[in-house]
Amino acid sequence: MSDSAPRQHARTPWRAVIGGSIGNLVEWFDWFVYASFATYFAGAFFPQGNETAQLLNTAGIFAVGFFMRPVGGWLLGRFADRRGRKAALTLTVTLMSASALLIAVAPTYDQVGYFGAGVLLVARLLQGLSVGGEYAASATYLTEASQPGRRGFVSSFQYVSMTMGQLIGLGLQIVLQRTMSEDALNSWGWRIPFIVGAVAAAVVFWLRRNLLETDAYAEEDTHRSSEHRGTIRELLRHRKEAALVIALTMGGTVAYYTYTTYLTKYLSNTAGLSKSTASLVSFCALFLFMLLQPVAGALSDRIGRRPLLISFGIGSMVGTVPLMTALSHTDTFGGALLLSLVALVIITGYTSINAVVKAELFPTHVRALGVALPYALANAMFGGTAEYVALWFKQSGMESGFYWYVSACAAVSLIVYLTMRETRDTMLTRGRTDDPTIASGKPQTTSV
């Protein structure tokens, strides 16, 4: 391979960061507005009745999208390892655009009965397929396109872009809440963010077509035949690392979805805050949370990944019950914001570095699949069901049981954090990590 590609990356480091992460903005804008606008369109696709029951129906479809993520993780992770990170990043954002457009034009229950809910379900399945591949492709690209001493910092922009997507979604929701009537939002206004998402994806598609492939993948492509890349058989040779990804993700994904996608509903449906106030609390908290990600990522480059993961595990295990209990009784904007910030500071120890930790566990030829499939399985089992479990506990009159559930998941992950090896100094080399000729190879030169 010539030296021109590394020099191109070195001259335009932020192009790699923006291109590798901006798709997350659109992906998670669409993913998040489904959750945040569910209180408005739940009645459009299901018969009128109990509001919590309608939210359970939409939350169930939300969870179904997560169960498609392992399929997306397998197919698109394999695609990224065989065809390249750039090709996978372009494909995932195309799928997300299509799913957003489907939701935007889906007919209501009054128009076609449950057929509209069926369209919603298909769209969520496409979103799940797309996000299942986007996370791994983005994490792999950002990790491979950064220097060893800056991987934590660079990869943290994955959650910066993800959070920015949520902020834009929440910001749009706040604007619509203040410019449209409640009836208009329930009738047709909820479709606007999905139209915005579909259009934005087209822009990201163009941006990603101009990305450069990472040096790590390009070098791997010249040394290994395609039949050995991105296969389940190759992944099983690293089954301990795959199991580790599932275990370390368990507590983090439950906590993340509890304090982000579910928080707005919790503040309005349990604490009793107005929908507009709850949205504003989430917006302000997430904005500060976004700013924390690069700080924590850079810190991990200096002190290691494990200390941050351990701090999250302890904080989430011990702090979830008192924090959620206090949030349920808060009746002011300031109190809700302060408590939400405490929770988000705690989970920053996980979100800022979880992508790089997973990518550092696997060799290049199976890295995308190794990150994608185990992570998607963990999200399907724990992250995607978090909101549904929370609403089930609430409807059953045992809402505090959900707080203990989140704490228990964090406790399991904490055990993993305490016993896992440090990944900060892992070299992103091609081939098997236990091959001594590879372990002594030079680090990749693509840099950010």
pLDDT of residue 177: 84
Q: What is the DSSP letter of 364?
A: G
Taking the C-alpha atoms of residue 297 and residue 120, their distance in angstroms, rounded to an integer, is: 36
Residues 6+ apart with CB under 8 A from 4: none
Task: Report how far residue 131's alpha carbon sits from residue 29's, in angstroms, rounded to the nearest whole number.
Answer: 11
Supply the DSSP string of 344-356, one letter for each residue: HHHHHHHHTTHHH
- What is the structure's pLDDT at 169? 83
Tokens found for residue 122: 């298909």
Query: Tens of pLDDT along 299-326?
Result: 999 999 999 999 999 999 999 999 999 9
What residue spans define the domains of the chain?
A: 4-213+230-420
74/376 Cα distance (integer angstroms)? 9
Cβ count near 418 (within 10 Å): 12
Phi (first) and psi of residue 194, to 5 degrees:
-75, -35
Please tell me whether residue 425 adopts helix, strand or coil conformation. coil
Those residues whose C-beta lies under 8 Å from the C-beta of residue 153, and which sit 6 or more positions away, are 146, 294, 297, 298, 301
For every residue of 384-439, DSSP letters joined together read: TTHHHHHHHHHHTT-THHHHHHHHHHHHHHHHHHHHSPP-TT----SS-TT-HHHH
Nearest to 44 by CA among 124, 111, 102: 111
4-213+230-420 in CATH: which number?
1.20.1250.20
What DSSP string runs through 208-240?
A: HHTPPPPHHHHHHHHHS-GGGSS-HHHHHTTHH
The answer to whether 304 touches 424, Cβ cutoff 8 Å, is yes
Q: What is the block-wise mean pLDDT of the chain (448 residues), using blocks of 10 residues?
A: 42 67 82 76 69 65 75 89 86 85 83 80 85 83 81 88 84 85 84 89 80 76 64 87 91 90 84 84 91 94 93 95 92 92 95 90 87 87 83 87 94 93 65 35 37
d(CA 291, CA 326) in angstroms, rounded, equals 25
Residue identified by tokens 């034009």 is 105
Cα gap 335→351, rounded to integer Å:
24
The three-class DSSP label of residue 441 is coil
Do 41 and 104 touch, CB atoms closer than 8 A?
A: no
Is 19:138 a contact under the CB 8 Å cutoff?
no
Neighbours of 287 (CB within 10 A): 15
> Tokens representing 94?
């195309």
